[in-house]
Amino acid sequence: MYALDASTGAMLWSYSTIGPVDSSPAVANGVVYVTDDANVYGLNARTGALLWSYVTDGDPSPSSPAVMNGVGLCGRDGRHPIRIGRP
């Protein structure tokens, strides 16, 4: 996972996930929500520091996360959304 400066393209920070990231992240309220093949991560949007993470019960390929009204959601195998966020 990489964060780039929108004006210059310079890398601001990076974070290595356990598995490959095949979906787009979501950003809300200073948190970057990102999923890999079986994990969900919350990263500090300014620094890239890990805020929290958890395993999605081994379900492969979580979808791109979405955040609405402070609640993060992502799907598992295209079905059954799960709530994501700080435990």
Q: What letter represents residue 76's amino acid?
A: R
3-state helix, strand, coil in the chain (%, to 5): 0, 50, 50
pLDDT tens-digit readout, 23-34:
899 999 999 999
**DSSP 8-state code for residue 87:** -
Distance between CA atoms of residues 79 and 64, nearest Å: 12
pLDDT tens-digit readout, 34-76:
988 888 899 999 999 999 988 876 665 567 888 888 778 777 6
